[in-house]
Amino acid sequence: MTGDADPLAAVVARGRAETAADALREEGIYDDDRSIRPFGEDAVALPVTAPPEQTAVREIVRQEAEPRLRNLDDHLRERGWTEAERERAPGSWAVIGTVVLVDVGDAPRTGEVGEALLDLHANADTVLARHGIDGTQREPDVEVIAGAGDTETIHTEHGTKYALDLAEVMFSPGNKAERKRMGDVVRGDERNEGPERVFDMFAGVGYFTLPMARAGARVTAAEINPASFRYLLENAKLNEVHERVDLYRADCRDVAEGVEADRVVMGYYEAHEYLDAALDALEPGGVVHMHEATPESLVYDRPVERLTEAAAERGRAVEILDRRKVKGYSEGVAHVVVDARVE
């Protein structure tokens, strides 16, 4: 420990850095003007303005004050990058557990970009360049550009834990708010009506299944990708919801034949192709959440029309409850969700 004027830091296990930093921010004591620093072999020191009263940490230490390199541009400038080169550097990325996921675009010297990102995020140990998602099973195309190369991690959002291998399965950082929202809208058994019955047609590693099951819903989840399904099984146990989920490694259209659901989640950009199965599984008065990649000029008309027409073919009426953009999908295309009650 150094002199009393030196700033404070809270030491936590490297794997807890993301969750602990969020908790310290909620306490109002996280210091955004300083950087996270490595602490020993398996821990990091999170900058704080005062000892935490609610967040569990290993210890509180003092550090020598140092000016923070606040962003990627600062780190690349320190490495001698010119202004023209820095303009080609990535403008956004995501930290998923201990992995940084980044679209490098046409940035020069991508290895240096990766090393700079590791310096910027001391809780991370691997940087992956993301090149896209391939095929109907949504398999990621990624490349290790810096760090240990360990692509398997555990990512925590709003208390939900997602174990996954980012070299094998897809995880979209931009869907964070939507994942939380689905945990908020479902009904548990608090009104003695029994838990809400949910059918998650494209479960992945449990993006929506886990927060909904944690909220008390009974979830039937289908996932056809074997790698994603393996993590779906693991995550159900990791989040202690395995008794509230029925998991199937199968095409969701086959699973739908035996499902009676109060709510159907269609978390796939081409979900309209599966509306027949979704409506067959959805009980009268139930709610469907239909995702779609929609050209900006057709937001929200196209997904609403597709849903309304599919329901009308079955003599069912649709009440639109909500429509929202989740994020950009590609240039001129938005990822949107339509929530609707189907009588």
* pLDDT per residue as tens digits for the range 51-88: 999 999 999 999 876 656 578 999 999 899 999 999 99
Predicted TM-score (pTM) of the model is 0.80
Same domain, 34 and 129: no
- For residue 67, what pLDDT is reported? 58
Tell me the CATH number at 80: 3.30.300.110
Its domain, for residue 203, covers 170-342
Q: Is 214 annotated as a binding residue?
A: no
Q: Is 223 annotated as a binding residue?
A: yes
Let me know if residue 161 belongs to a domain: no
- For residue 191, what pLDDT is reported? 56
- For residue 3, what pLDDT is reported? 43
Same domain, 222 and 315: yes
Of the candidates 266, 124, 273, the one whose C-alpha atom is nearest the C-alpha of residue 207 is 266
Let me know if residue 157 belongs to a domain: no
Q: Is 172 annotated as a binding residue?
A: yes
Same domain, 105 and 14: no
Q: Under the phi-then-psi rule, with left for phi > 0, alpha for psi from -120 to 50, and beta for the rest, what region is 138?
A: left
Same domain, 50 and 98: no
- Do you find a cis peptide bond into 300, omega within 30 degrees of 0? yes
- For residue 1, what pLDDT is reported? 39
DSSP 3-state of 101: strand
Same domain, 176 and 317: yes
Split the chain (343 residues) into runs of 10 and give each run's mean pLDDT: 69 89 92 84 91 94 73 91 95 94 94 94 92 74 95 94 95 91 84 85 97 97 96 98 97 96 96 96 97 96 97 97 93 96 97
- Rg, C-alpha atoms of the chain: 22
β-partners of residue 288 are: 264, 340
- For residue 69, what pLDDT is reported? 59
- For residue 99, what pLDDT is reported? 96
The end-to-end CA distance of the chain, in Å, is 66
Same domain, 315 and 229: yes
